[in-house]
Amino acid sequence: MSTLAVLGCMWGDEAKAKIVDFLGDNADVVVRFQGGSNAGHTICVDDKKYVFHSVPSGILYPGTKCVIGAGVVIEPFDLMAEIAELEAHNISFTGRLYIDERAGVVLPLHKDLDAGSEISSGAHKIGTTKRGIGPAYSDMVARVGIRLGDLQYPEWLRSRLQNIYSYHKIERSDADIENETSRLHEIWKQMQGYICQVDNLLRKWYLDDQYILFEGAQGTLLDVSYGTYPFVTSSHTMAGGISTGCGVPMRYVDKIIGVYKAYCTRVGDGPFPTELNDAIGDKIRVQGNEFGSTTGRPRRCGWFDAVAAQYTARLNGIDAAAVTLLDVLSGLEEIKICTGYWHNGVKLREIPTNPLIMGEVVPEYLSMKGWDKDITEIRSINKLPRAAQDYLEAIQDMLEIPIEIVSVGKNRNQTIVIK
């Protein structure tokens, strides 16, 4: 076994980074293959908290190489600021960071478009992270985008900038274009030591039998094709995104771990059948500190949705599951799992693809007994309260996939390994 993918299987914020960090201590390489700084990946080690937006979570292990693939969109100034902040904490990037020159560039234009568009605030509001992610990906697909490698050549870059502004019908003076060209070229000079073609490196490392860990961002229900469209992000968050996102064949991925929270959360708009707009939802939000690590927004909280979870397990072909934040449910008398969707008196056989229908479904619940005990110091599955074990078993049976890891706290060591 030389490669492993860790993917969020719901609406993001499943504590993927904690699992990547937990499994990554002997990883040779950690790879981000999609998304951008909309991700907020939090890792807690020895009471120190790190939040990564674009840098792969493996950077905390000094011997691990970190890779950002072509499927990622990068705001170069923000990325360099993130790197500088980590360097101030004595984390070295020298010879450890590899960024694909084909990655798309997020420009100030994209942030402005994201902040001011219908998508972020109008009637069709998605509630984006306003990091310019959607507009940057749109421009890449429209073939007017600027790629990291373009920043090397000022003359070419200038013409690409003229092109993108004219595409968006935005007036920019020659002086403005000149200014932006030189700013981008200057930041490229600072980044050039990191920029390369990562597919070649990954292939070589794979053939050298190095342990490669693919770190997903967001979650499958935010996938641009298979998520709860249009309330999704603009990249392929599911397993297939690995191949297109960093240029390796899918058969290089030996094992896929799907990360599920012990309950559900969603930040931003869109249907959420098991949402709890009550005191239990508030309690979960407070206990789980469910506030966005990128935007600070309160996250919407709800019961575990096994219908959606089964859907994403199948889409990704996951081999094993990690269940996170189980400790947050301690103290609830009753815990529910959504086992089916009803719509107009009919039980649905599949998750609805239309957001209107998805917004109208009535969940069918299995009610389970809660537990009272604090479980954050427990390190073996058999020592968990019986009710917690039953809860995990129910989830495992519904997913039809073994749970291999259970997280009972935010720190690296607050983890139970089943296999």
Q: Which is nearer to ligand IMO, 113 or 384 (by Cβ)? A: 113
241 binds ligand IMO per the rule CB under 6 A: no
* Distance in Å, CB of 137 to ligand IMO, minimum: 8
330 lies in the site for ligand IMO, by CB under 6 A: no
Q: Which two tokens stand for residue 388?
A: 């917690």
* Kind and range of the H or E run holding 151: none
How many residues in the shown chain lie near Mg ion by CB under 5 A?
3
Answer for the pair 69, 198: CB distance below 8 angstroms, yes or no: yes
| Among the residue ranges 23-31, 37-45, 160-168, 300-308, the one whose residues contact ligand IMO (CB under 6 A) | 37-45
We find the least distance from the C-beta atom of residue 235 to ligand IMO, in angstroms, to be 8
Alpha helices in 305-414 (DSSP H): 306-316, 355-360, 386-399
Backbone angles phi, psi at 70, to 5 degrees: -65, -20
Task: For residue 407, state whether it binds ligand IMO (rule: CB under 6 A).
Answer: no
* Rounded Cα gap, residues 170 and 61, in angstroms: 44
- Say how far apart CA 412 and CA 407 lie, in whole Å: 9
**∠ CA 69-40-373, rounded to 5°:** 130
Both tokens of 232, joined, read: 């999704």
21 contacts Mg ion (rule: CB under 5 A):
no
126 binds, among ligand IMO, Mg ion, none (CB under 5 to 8 A by kind): ligand IMO
* Whole-number Å distance between alpha carbons of 264 and 300: 8
Q: Give the residue among 88, 3, 78 at the shortest CA–CA distance from 50.
A: 88
Please select the residue that binds ligand IMO; options are 54, 64, 218, 324, rule is CB under 6 A: 218
Binding residues for ligand IMO, rule CB under 6 A, total 23
Handedness of CA 273, 279, 284, 289 (dihedral sign): positive
Nearest to ligand IMO of 110, 158 (CB atom): 110
Which member of 21, 28, 41, 110 is catalytic?
41
Under the criterion CB under 5 A, does residue 219 sit at the interface with Mg ion? no
Closer of 107 and 368 to ligand IMO (Cβ): 107
Binding test (CB under 6 A) with ligand IMO, winner from 34, 181, 220, 234: 234
Cα–Cα distance measured from residue 358 to residue 338, given in angstroms and rounded to the nearest whole number: 14
Site track 249-278 with ligand IMO (rule: CB under 6 A), x = hit: ------------------xx----------
Phi, psi of 7 (to 5 degrees): -120, 140
| CA 122 – CA 84 distance, rounded (Å) | 36
Q: Give yes or no: 41 in active site.
A: yes
- Burial code (b: 16+ CB inside 10 Å, e: under 16) for 234-243 equals bbbbbbbbbb
Residue 129 in the binding site for ligand IMO (CB under 6 A): yes
Q: Which is nearer to ligand IMO, 64 or 233 (CB)?
A: 233
The answer for 15, left when phi > 0, alpha when psi is -120 to 50, beta otherwise, is left
Say whether residue 135 binds ligand IMO (CB under 6 A). Answer: no
Cβ atoms of 261 and 14 closer than 8 Å? yes
C-alpha torsion angle, residues 406, 412, 414, 417 (rounded to 10): 40
Among 8, 35, 40, 302, binds Mg ion (CB under 5 A): 40
Instruction: Please report, as residue ranges, which positions from 275 to 334 form the binding site for Mg ion (by CB under 5 A).
Output: 293
| Beta carbon of residue 38, minimum distance to Mg ion (angstroms, whole number) | 9
76 binds ligand IMO (CB under 6 A): no
Is 8 a residue that touches Mg ion (CB under 5 A)? no
Which amino acid, one-letter code, is at 172? Answer: R
The residue assigned the tokens 């009753």 is: 334
The pair of three-digit structure tokens given for residue 47, joined into one six-digit string: 């009471």
Contacting ligand IMO (CB under 6 A), which of 6, 27, 30, 39? 39
Contacts of 49 (CB under 8 A, 6+ apart): 42, 43
In the complex, minimum distance from the CB of residue 231 to ligand IMO, in angstroms, rounded to a whole number? 6
Residue nearest to ligand IMO (CB): 268
CB of 100 to Mg ion, least distance (A): 23
Q: Residue 411 binds which one of ligand IMO, Mg ion, none, with CB within 5 to 8 A depending on kind?
A: none
Question: Which residues of this protein are in contact with Mg ion, per CB under 5 A?
Answer: 13, 40, 293
Question: Which residues of this protein are in contact with ligand IMO, per CB under 6 A?
Answer: 8, 11-13, 38-41, 126-129, 131, 133-134, 217-219, 222, 233-234, 267-268
Q: Catalytic residues, which ones?
A: 13, 41
